[in-house]
Chain A
Amino acid sequence: MTDALLVLEDGRTFTGEAYGATGETLGEIVFNTGMTGYQETLTDPSYHRQIVVMTAPHIGNTGINDEDAESGRIWVSGYVVRDPARRASNWRSDRSLDEELTAQDVVGISGIDTRALTRHLRERGVMRAAIISGEALLDGSGRARTTEDLVDFVRESPQMSGADLAGEVSTPEAYVVPAQGEAVARVAAIDLGIKAMTPQRLAERGIEVHVLPAMSTIEDVLAVSPDGVFFSNGPGDPGAATHEIELLRAVLDRRIPFFGICYGNQLLGRALGYGTYKLGYGHRGVNQPVLDRHTGKVEITAHNHGFAVDAPVDAESVAPHDGGRYGRVEVSHIDLNDNVVEGLNALDLPAFSVQYHPEAAAGPHDAGYLFDRFLTLMTTTEGTDA
């Protein structure tokens, strides 16, 4: 049993046991309230540079399998759990989570009061943190590093605000996810940290998905002759995504049908001229009630966002960008817990986006209809400038 320490930038510390790899790691510490789906969470690129706290106490019970990962690797920079499984039990389990974390060199901590930590983050907001375990707890001369030193170490690490991270998680090369059955449409999907389930959900509907790197140009996009363009989820501050926002405006200018998820929603907001801001502690979980204001129905949705769009919620507004040339926009979805903007719908352009995760891995499938809506948008929008 190796000792481990979690140090927050405000000086609070938690003592526990090392889990996964030992060593030291830094990141923005956030909590996820999902009771299932740790494998999907760990492999979601949106968690890049974040230390994730699981509020569910038992993690690792179903092991790791080769089917459920949302990308090729674990992205979290650190992992905080209360009771790691000693034994994985599931007919699809290929190996234990502990082994996987160690193999991928992910430093974690277990055995701490994760609820106390979550309450702290809820009250103080997310912040930077470090997990230090094993020999990393000692300084060069073999003495234990002091709490002051460790807090300073945390405070010297980069902030999430202002971070442009899409380039760090995006695919280096374009690739194609073929349509299942007869292809009915083609989408250029900009990978800002895309989860594997998203192209899968599109492909299930007969959509051929060309996944393109984050730094793609409008020419790259047009080169695949898309019926629609998709912007994925991803890590970082949307305020820092200058290139992606310019690319999105080029898409909107050509009236190419557009759909964005999560980071893609924030980028649509910014492209239209709205602001984005950082939430106190974000939405991360699979139980968030979102109201579809068109139907009046509530869907239970998966969320993973620390930033949100600042757009008028009560009535439609004219998109502020460039004197309103993108026309009117409505907030189509809101979170019923806190009224945060969860969806945008352009009324004069074929473009919409949601802040949450209709691809739902992990999470409920209530919002799957949005992919149908995108397909409908693509098949009914005529005469793009492309």
Chain B
Amino acid sequence: MPRRTDIQSVLVIGSGPIVIGQACEFDYSGTQACRVLKEEGLRVVLVNSNPATIMTDPEFADATYVEPITTEVLTTIIAKERPDAILPTLGGQTALNAAIALDEAGVLEQYDVELIGANIPAIQKGEDREQFKQVVEVCGGESARSAIIHTIDEALVAVQDLGYPVVVRPSFTMGGLGSGIAYDEADLRRIAGQGLHYSPTTEVLLEESILGWKEYELELMRDKHDNVVVVCSIENVDPVGVHTGDSVTVAPALTLTDREYQKLRDIGIAVIREVGVDTGGCNIQFAVDPRTGRIIVIEMNPRVSRSSALASKATGFPIAKIAARLAVGYTLDEIPNDITGSTPASFEPTLDYVVVKVPRFAFEKFPAADPTLTTTMKSVGEAMALGRNFTEALGKALRSIDKKGTNFHWEGEALAGDALDALTATIDHPTEHRLVDVQQVLRAGVGVDEVYEITGIDPWFLDQIQLMNEVAAEVAAAPELNRSVLARAKRHGLSDAQIASLRGMSEDVAREVRHALGLRPVFKTVDTCAAEFAASTPYHYSSYDEETEVAPRERPAVLILGSGPNRIGQGIEFDYSCVHAALALKDRFETVMVNCNPETVSTDYDTADRLYFEPLTFEDVLEVYEAERAAGPVAGLIVQLGGQTPLSLAQRLADAGLPILGTSPEAIDAAEDRGVFGGVLAEAGLPAPAFGTATTLAAAKATAERIGYPVLVRPSYVLGGRGMEIVYSAEQLTEYVERALADAAGSGRAHMPPLLIDRFLDDAIEIDVDALYDGTELFLGGVMEHIEEAGIHSGDSACVLPPITLSAAELERIRVSTEAIARGVGVRGLLNIQFALASDVLYVLEANPRASRTVPFVSKATGVPLAKAAALVMTGSTIAELRGSGVLPATDARVVDLDAPIAVKEAVLPFKRFRTADGTAVDTVLGPEMRSTGEVMGFDSDFPTAFAKSQSAAFGGLPTGGTVFISVADRDKRSIVFPVKRLSELGFEILATEGTAAVLKRSGIDSTVVRKHSAGRGSAGEPTIVDLIAAGDVDMVVNTPSGQGARADGYEIRAATTAADKAIVTTVQQLSAAVQAIEAARSGPFRVASLQEHDAARLAAAL
């Protein structure tokens, strides 16, 4: 049966900004869907507010709207584009919720738009706890005993029957937001209270605890002929109690017999039918009692999910792509299996390898947050690895995480005595480090059975970890590192670095010994069928086995190193650039992608010509290179597009003789080395803020005195703003240094690492520049003006492009400075520079000769494919040639057309996700350390509207009326008068603390004085500001921090605001922008324009 002929155009809804629980996997699924629908000849209309996605590249849809995903905006787009259908199942919970809202608002009916891929009753049945419970019962399955509650009182009654601990799950939230486990009444009041708040239907499920049970997931697909296949089974190594996104997981399931597995399969199929997912995918989670085998169905998602991305990468079965085809009418047997090319998609993949996924966390960014893992997802990314056995895959996955302390080790003596008892006592509760702790406890001789009793981790997995310990012990004890010892170590996943550490040798020596013994990995193929049929798609993974499957080739290859697991500061933006390089170079080279992040578009086997799903470590990259060199000529490696992870490998790879394309590793170092870079600046006559280094408190104080306060202080060994603080006084500096000394002592180091101390430019305008340099010519890609002043990490700061307050002369200075740095450093490709403009001096803050986080934003805002152009420059094209071929336009960012649209990038922050151990929210103040997970773009003809759109897309929007609370630091009091006056004129009620109210009063603005939190409630019970915020009586909070430290009132205010989910403004610049945006938002619904329309306007203007 061919595709439906009654559908000509489809609206695809994306998932918006990257947040915890909803990351690049929906760019992967959405991109696949758009590709498929276009291939089918349909007109594709796309809405997604996230500019860093591949799916929002204009070539993937006919009309691409980078606009807020709100009912109002979607309605405007539907009215304009009149699509026949909406596909809401590939954009995560955001898209599904948006579709439900459109249905409830009557928009679907009004414009006669059909939902495809899912229907409203199916969504309700799958996601509504009570309905789903009935579904499970009809399907012959069991649910955990439970009760639905809508108030805390109902919860207290229900728990009398269910008993503690009890699991709390709010309805209709994603990534397990708001869920948790309550061990007592206080827990229950807190968690259920939050859950009721987060649930859009104020509904929460309480259920009996199945903590410690085995947890499984099945990924299923169904077509309109009721054909159902199970694409993949996934087993969680962490038992029930840890969100599956935070668990170490393995595919396929490894500890079930066929009978038990088939029971899960039967229930899963019955559930997808009963729920009524007509076409497309769903995942179903099960818990299995390890003592009896009793099965409980936990939940299902009637849509493509993070797990389906993982399952697609794990099996080679592209769930989203096939879901899109099913949605337009095909059946599974009509769709070919891409990988074999000869068999249909109506089958169940079978694996002859093991896949392990490990989450990556960012608790270090939120030191106040409770690091215990629960049913609320807290990880920010994940790495996946494939191996021919579990130990090989686990070893590779752990080293893919690219973070200290997250990998197995055998340093020092095994623990004993009290230290061992202490560690053993901690492994009952799951944390980021539990698996390593388990490995250490097993290494110290605690038995598998005992560790199983404590952790609930299946003994089979524990035994495999113990196997790795045994192999490590053999490596350590062997008289010499001979072939059999080394072969066994590699077969069980030990890295060269681990072997080197066990033998007390350097990693280079370990590798040389291995190579001398002829021990190298082979590369196998992910083929969906365990080699039953020949595979035509080169999707490879390494294994220490016998036969390699890399095909010889004629064309020269370019290896593109991806960015590994998402983390704060290194996410989808870098994947975007890597994907662009693959697309740009396909015509001239065999493109080879190396990456280990299963969520991404880069690891879609359709993206590059060859895909190696491998850790981004020196060892693994070197072996891929050698394998490809054996297959044909290799032109070189691109390391500058995937962020810090591949960049940090550049020098070692070059030293090992690998050809690095583009900017040389020496030049990369030059930009990072303060001394060398200072020389570049001096030669170019460019000022940089004064700086110095110090290793003692006395030296730090002296340096700070010399530079002048405020200063920016950070340890020299970290990247991404980690540990960076703005210090205003000697007192604060002392505090900082004492903490650094304590940290150093705590981690066993004798000395504090050197501190970098920079002059902090107060009141400076921060400017971000992305540019291309080919050795002779500069192309200024984009100049972005930050809305927050310098001191807020550029990744967390909102910014606007084109810069709205910079003069032509200032732009020219920026261009000249950029070119001087590009030339001085020796850039061939992309360059990102951060400038600060203060008192008419343009300071250079830092320069990074690589793709930056802002490259995709700039490309979306200007229509210039910067990353593609960079890849071409790196492989030898000149900017002049690229202009000639139309890849780059004739003019660059130094020329600002007054009619050009304004793009605002706003950061999205994860504060809501993180709670302290006692359940209060963490502080939300922005600082020099980046903490945002994602970004959105607001795009319109003027700044106020673009900013208003960005706020709407980032967190639902600013209030257009109501109550505003103002409390600012003394230094900010002068700047708030005008914006607050405007708010007052717009009819907002103004609340303020005493000091702020006095300033306002003297400027003729009336405000109501409210009690400070520290003052406590009044004698007659008058509420404090925190009480008012918590009660939902305040619509927007303006609070600028008065200095470091979480003890100030500000912390309580900001935390309460976050908890209450209200708008919060923490800088005065933000306040001015917010006031403009509020005015824009009050002037009526947003108008919308597609990127294609913007392009057409740009083209018309150029003629």
Contacts and interface: CB of A to CB of B under 8 A. Distances in A.
Looking at chain A's contact residues, the main secondary structure is loop
Interface stretch (B22-30, B112-120, B350-358, B1063-1071): B350-358
Contact of A119 (B230, B459, B547): B547
A367 to B, nearest CB: 12
A337 B347 contact: yes
Contact of B343 (A56, A90, A119, A336): A336
Contacts of A33: 350, 352, 529-530, 532
A113 interface: yes
B470 to A, nearest CB: 10
A296 interface: yes
B262 A285 contact: no
A68 B259 contact: yes
Nearest to A287: B348
Nearest to B463: A87
A82 B332 CA distance: 32
Interface stretch (B287-295, B402-410, B995-1003): B287-295
- Give the most central of A61, A113, A122, A296: most B CB within 10 Å: A61
Interface in A281-328: 285-289, 291, 296-298, 300
B807 interface: no
A361 to B, nearest CB: 7
B390 interface: yes
A177 interface: no
A128 B781 CA distance: 66
Contacts of A68: 257-259
A174 interface: no
A31 B532 CA distance: 9
Given A56-B530, A115-B547, A65 B257 contact: yes
Contacts of A296: 225
Given A122-B531, A122-B534, A361-B258, A58 B350 contact: no
A91 to B, nearest CB: 6
A81 to B, nearest CB: 11
Contacts of A115: 352, 388, 524, 530-531, 545, 547
B261 interface: yes
B467 interface: yes
Contacts of A86: 463, 467
Interface in B507-542: 524, 529-534
Contacts of B343: 289, 336-338
A65 B260 CA distance: 13
A285 B532 contact: yes
Contact of A89 (B253, B255, B531, B533): B255
Contacts of B531: 31, 55, 115, 118-119, 122
A92 B332 CA distance: 36
B546 interface: yes
A275 interface: no
Contacts of B344: 289, 336-337
A89 B459 contact: yes
Interface string B221-243: 00001110110000000000000
Contacts of B255: 61-62, 89-90
- Give the most central of B226, B229, B467, B533: most A CB within 10 Å: B229
Interface in A51-90: 55-58, 61-62, 65, 67-68, 82-83, 85-90
A39 interface: yes
A300 B348 contact: yes
Contacts of B459: 87, 89
Given A87-B459, A89-B459, A298-B332, A61 B352 contact: no
Nearest to B459: A89
A61 B460 contact: yes
Contact of A37 (B226, B257, B467, B534): B257
B293 A83 contact: no
Contacts of B302: none
B256 interface: yes
Nearest to A114: B352
A365 B269 CA distance: 11
Contacts of B532: 31, 33, 55, 118, 122, 285, 337
Contacts of A288: 347
Contacts of B260: 90
B159 to A, nearest CB: 29
Given A298-B332, A337-B344, A89 B458 contact: yes
A364 interface: yes
Given A37-B258, A82-B388, A337 B547 contact: no
Nearest to B288: A91
Contacts of A289: 333, 343-344, 346-347
A361 B258 CA distance: 8
Nearest to B352: A55
A158 to B, nearest CB: 26
Nearest to B345: A289
Which of the four size classes fits the interface of chain B? 35 or more
A89 to B, nearest CB: 4
B662 interface: no
Given A119-B531, A361-B258, A35 B389 contact: no
B448 interface: yes
B545 A35 contact: no
Contact of B293 (A14, A92, A337, A360): A92
Contacts of A337: 342-344, 347, 532-533
A217 B1073 CA distance: 94
B471 to A, nearest CB: 12
Interface string B379-392: 00000000011100
Contact of B351 (A31, A37, A56, A92): A56
Contacts of B388: 57, 82-83, 115
Nearest to B251: A35
Contacts of A85: 460
Contacts of A118: 352, 530-532
A336 B331 CA distance: 13
A222 interface: no
B944 interface: no
A364 B265 contact: yes
A360 B389 contact: no
A91 B293 CA distance: 7
Interface string B603-624: 0000000000000000000000
A57 B252 CA distance: 11
Contacts of B754: none
A300 B547 contact: no
B350 A62 contact: no
B728 to A, nearest CB: 58
Contacts of A67: 259
B1028 interface: no
A300 B218 CA distance: 16
B633 interface: no
Contacts of A65: 257
B547 A87 contact: no
Nearest to B290: A91
A364 B262 contact: yes
Interface in B252-296: 252-262, 265-266, 290-293
A1 to B, nearest CB: 10
Nearest to B492: A83
B93 to A, nearest CB: 29
11 contacts: A31-B532, A37-B257, A57-B388, A67-B259, A89-B459, A92-B293, A122-B533, A297-B225, A297-B227, A337-B342, A365-B265
Closest CB pairs A-B (n = 5): A37-B258, A116-B547, A362-B258, A113-B546, A55-B530
Given A89-B459, A116-B547, 19 more contacts: A35-B350, A36-B256, A39-B257, A56-B252, A57-B388, A68-B257, A82-B388, A86-B463, A87-B460, A90-B255, A91-B293, A113-B547, A116-B546, A119-B531, A286-B350, A297-B225, A297-B227, A336-B347, A337-B342
Interface of A: 14, 31, 33-37, 39-40, 55-58, 61-62, 65, 67-68, 82-83, 85-92, 112-116, 118-119, 122, 285-289, 291, 296-298, 300, 336-338, 360-365
